[in-house]
A and B are shown apart, each in its own frame.
Chain A
Amino acid sequence: MDPDPSPDPAPPPPPAADEATTALDALSLRAAADLPPDFAAPEIDEDDDDEGYATAASRGGSSTAAWKEEMEGLEEDAYGDAGPPSPSSSGYAGERGSSLASSGIEEEPDAATPPHAPGAEDWARGKKHADEDDASASWRKRKKHFFILSNSGKPIYSRYGDEHKLAGFSATLQAIVSFVENSADHIKFVRAGKHQIVFLVKGPIYLVCISCTEESFEGLRGQLELMYGQMLLILTKSVNRCFEKNPKFDMAPLLGGTDAVFLSLIRAFSWNPATFLHAYTCLPLAQPTRQAASAVLQDIADSGVLFALLMCEHKVISLVGAQKATLHPDDILLLANFILSSESFRTSESFSPICLPRYNSMAFLYAYVHFFDENTYVTLLTPRSDAFYDLKDSRARIQDVLLKSNVLLEVQRSLHENVLRVEDVPVDLSSQPTSPPAQSSEMAIGGPAGLWHFIYKSVNLDQYVSSEFALPIKSPKEQKRLYKAYQKFYASMHDKATGPHRTQFRRDEDYVLFCWITQDFELYAAFHPLADKTQAIKTCNRVCQWIRDVENKVFVYGESTLAWQYHHCWGDM
């Protein structure tokens, strides 16, 4: 996920060791009762405040100016003579100021900060529980926190609560990271009681997850990588240069209005297997239908578009890249998440700068986005900032073809059709000439041998398919739990330290989990907890065979993947 690890900047002077210990204590997030009332800000420097939390206007102004300089490809003359500093986003920043004041951090009264229009903040920030801060019991009871902060301790993002009220807490986290960094032992995670605290350092930006969800360290770290990628998609890595010029640079205003994007990504961590498989999934479609879409996208790509993607919600209908350009599955995930969680794309066609962090984390591309209906949309990416009208024309051509070939109708049909149901896994009659082994009636639910669910990932295609959820795991809560189990499995199967596993079989009170990895594919399957191992393995073989039979429908074969061949080894295990 880190295509270009930049050297760590000189960290601020380390706090005294006992300070870091205090910080660690604070991080254990004990029950409200045993915390000192001011646990929020043990380390906060008073002189940090006037710098960082002056008036909303000056804050926004300086960050805009610094950012503008960093925006590449702009003519210098446009900003050489700065003119009036651009005041920041009006009401919301003002509101932040006043909320800071009310939480006890002193703020210079400033005549230029206008009274704030009530209600305006709510629409712009749209954050849940924005009233919480680290002193509220509810905030501390949250199962999983995500933070982004700068290496000078300035809050950039927080899942819960207003990041600007969490300045003290951010300073605490920053103190820990720099303490450990300075001891030449880069901090990766800390256990504190039930909590696991995972750190990811990306140059001047620190990402932190505090969780008591029992997810693996690798899993959580992967999630932080995606959070960072989402941030880069919005700002590019050139934001780092703002920190080079001003270590106390306040980055939060640059992410204004993007809370929904991060929230939706965090939600995806518990329902979207793409977040840990590093693969994307396709909308199942009959081959001729998909070909019609691919042909017109290919045509467009040949005429100067870098990437053209047709997607339905999170699923790919077709995607093509110009020449040898390939799109990383993580970029697809982050792009789709950004588009689907930014409501304004659905209102009308848009043209917006976007960075694909895995493709090039330093530069913006321009994305033309258009929704054909509620959930089907095309994204055309180009490096040309003046390409809008060309892309608009291209879209019209695409739309023509999609309508004429009934692609949009087929897409809607596919959305409501269960393509891969475990109940439909073919039963291999030849291996069972007599009646199948007696099954308990609850074993009869789901697929053969008590199969409840599976995910099949094609390694060559970077694509995966997953079955519908069978009855025993119909509830979202069950599904979340299963994904967490898969995620753990994935981490242990890919853990270099323990060698390349080929298969793993695990039984607990919830399910029997089975994982099979070859050069060509990875299979993750969940069975009834009493499933028979031999039968389960046979069923897995049949699942793989079945996927091979329907692969033309469930996978996209782009030009870049024509090398895909039918040479899987289907040996016994």
Chain B
Amino acid sequence: MGCSSSLPASNAGGIGNINNDNSATDSKNLKLKLVLLGDSGVGKSCIVLRFVRGQFDPTSKVTVGASFLSQVLALEDSTTVKFEIWDTAGQERYAALAPLYYRGAGAAIVVYDITSEESLNKAQYWVKELQKHGSQDMIMALVGNKADLHEKRTVSSQDAQEYADRNNMFFVETSAKTADNINQLFEEIAKRLPRPTPPS
């Protein structure tokens, strides 16, 4: 750790790279840094907590900065993937910090709420930012959450699917509340993970 200076004013060194290594430990045990982005309230934290802890808590817990969680997923081909997940805050004041969390990430999940068209606009903003500043081979998923609220839907799945196709993302609608498609989402990302070539 190289923080010898306790001068707070020296905090102008630019946003570093929090995700220093993104490598697989070996060909059977993969590791993946993943970041979730999207507007506040679309359900990013709920998706992660459903995946990591199998829980859904409907009470409000607006994320501050970013939360870090990890979870190991075993795939059918007997590989395991360890997800190291940055669940970022969707509140506006944190938007400028996003590069800190997405830089060096191997995958990004961009989330919107199917009952809010504006959250899709925000998702598209994040997709563009990732395309510009994220790593080239990042796996990107577009996720329409709160699929259980279909009676209040304002974003059609077809529109979202088309947008995802145009941007080389895969698309899925989920519900953190009912757990619908949550595991599938992470499995799909794991499957797309490039496998390290075994030493010959």
- Give every chain A residue within 8 A of B97 (Cβ-Cβ): 71, 353
- Give every chain B residue within 8 A of A255 (Cβ-Cβ): 93
What is the bound-complex CA distance between A364 and B65, given in angstroms? Answer: 12
From B9, B69, B115, B118, contact of A57 by CB (8 A): B118
User: Smallest CB-CB separation from A394: which chain B residue?
Assistant: B1
Shortest CB distance A114–B (Å): 4
Question: Does A344 reach chain B (CB closer than 8 Å)?
Answer: yes
From A90, A306, A360, contact of B118 by CB (8 A): A90
Known contacts A384-B3, A390-B1, A117 near B113 by CB under 8 Å: yes
From A78, A126, A235, contact of B93 by CB (8 A): A235
What is the bound-complex CA distance between A72 and B14, given in angstroms? Answer: 8
Interface residues of B in 71-130 (CB under 8 A from A): 87, 89-97, 99-100, 113, 115-119, 121-122, 124-125, 128-129
- Give every chain B residue within 8 A of A459 (Cβ-Cβ): none
Encode A330-349 as 1/0 by CB contact (under 8 A) with B.
00000000000011110111
Cβ of A360 and Cβ of B8 under 8 Å apart? yes
Question: Does B10 reach chain A (CB closer than 8 Å)?
Answer: yes
From A115, A303, A347, A386, contact of B45 by CB (8 A): A347
Shortest CB distance B195–A (Å): 25
User: Smallest CB-CB separation from B52: which chain A residue?
Assistant: A348
Question: Does B192 reach chain A (CB closer than 8 Å)?
Answer: no
Cβ of A83 and Cβ of B96 under 8 Å apart? no
Question: Which of A17-25, A60-68, A506-514 lies at the interface?
Answer: A60-68
Shortest CB distance A40–B (Å): 27
- Give every chain A residue within 8 A of B87 (Cβ-Cβ): 348
What is the bound-complex CA distance between A124 and B61, given in angstroms? Answer: 8
Known contacts A87-B122, A117-B149, A325-B6, A256 near B91 by CB under 8 Å: yes
Cβ of A382 and Cβ of B93 under 8 Å apart? no
Cβ of A345 and Cβ of B45 under 8 Å apart? no
Known contacts A67-B93, A350-B68, A90 near B116 by CB under 8 Å: yes
Cβ of A386 and Cβ of B18 under 8 Å apart? yes
Shortest CB distance B146–A (Å): 8
Question: Which of B36-44, B156-164, B165-173, B178-186 lies at the interface?
Answer: B36-44
User: Smallest CB-CB separation from B124: which chain A residue?
Assistant: A84
Cβ of A383 and Cβ of B3 under 8 Å apart? yes
What is the bound-complex CA distance between A84 and B122, given in angstroms? Answer: 9
Encode A75-103 as 1/0 by CB contact (under 8 A) with B.
10011010111111111111000000000
What is the bound-complex CA distance between A306 and B62, given in angstroms? Answer: 27
- Give every chain B residue within 8 A of A388 (Cβ-Cβ): 18, 68
- Give every chain A residue within 8 A of B49 (Cβ-Cβ): 347
Cβ of B118 and Cβ of A75 under 8 Å apart? no
Interface residues of B in 1-30 (CB under 8 A from A): 1-18, 20
- Give every chain B residue within 8 A of A343 (Cβ-Cβ): 59-62
Number of B interface residues in the complex (CB < 8 A): 66
What is the bound-complex CA distance between A370 and B42, given in angstroms? Answer: 24
Known contacts A116-B116, A306-B6, A384-B16, A351 near B65 by CB under 8 Å: yes
Encode A351-376 as 1/0 by CB contact (under 8 A) with B.
11100100110111101000000000
Which of B7, B63, B99 counts the most A-chain CB atoms under 10 A from its CB? Answer: B63
Shortest CB distance B64–A (Å): 5
What is the bound-complex CA distance between A137 and B182, given in angstroms? Answer: 47
Known contacts A306-B3, A383-B11, A57 near B121 by CB under 8 Å: yes
- Give every chain A residue within 8 A of B63 (Cβ-Cβ): 344, 350
Known contacts A71-B97, A90-B39, A116-B116, A304 near B92 by CB under 8 Å: no
Known contacts A84-B125, A87-B121, A124 near B60 by CB under 8 Å: yes
User: Smallest CB-CB separation from A303: which chain B residue?
Assistant: B1
What is the bound-complex CA distance between A324 and B4, given in angstroms? Answer: 12
Shortest CB distance A341–B (Å): 10
Cβ of A86 and Cβ of B42 under 8 Å apart? no
Cβ of A94 and Cβ of B118 under 8 Å apart? yes
Known: A344-B63, A350-B66. 7 other contacts (CB 8 A): A91-B119, A93-B118, A234-B93, A257-B40, A343-B62, A347-B67, A363-B11
Q: Can you list 27 A-B contacts with CB-CB less than 8 angstroms, sorted by A residue number?
A: A68-B95, A72-B11, A73-B11, A74-B14, A75-B99, A78-B99, A89-B90, A90-B116, A90-B119, A91-B41, A91-B113, A112-B121, A113-B118, A117-B152, A120-B41, A257-B62, A325-B6, A347-B49, A360-B9, A363-B9, A363-B11, A384-B13, A385-B13, A386-B18, A386-B100, A388-B18, A389-B20
Q: Which residues of B contact A (CB under 8 A)?
A: 1-18, 20, 39-42, 45, 49, 59-69, 87, 89-97, 99-100, 113, 115-119, 121-122, 124-125, 128-129, 132-133, 146, 149, 152, 154
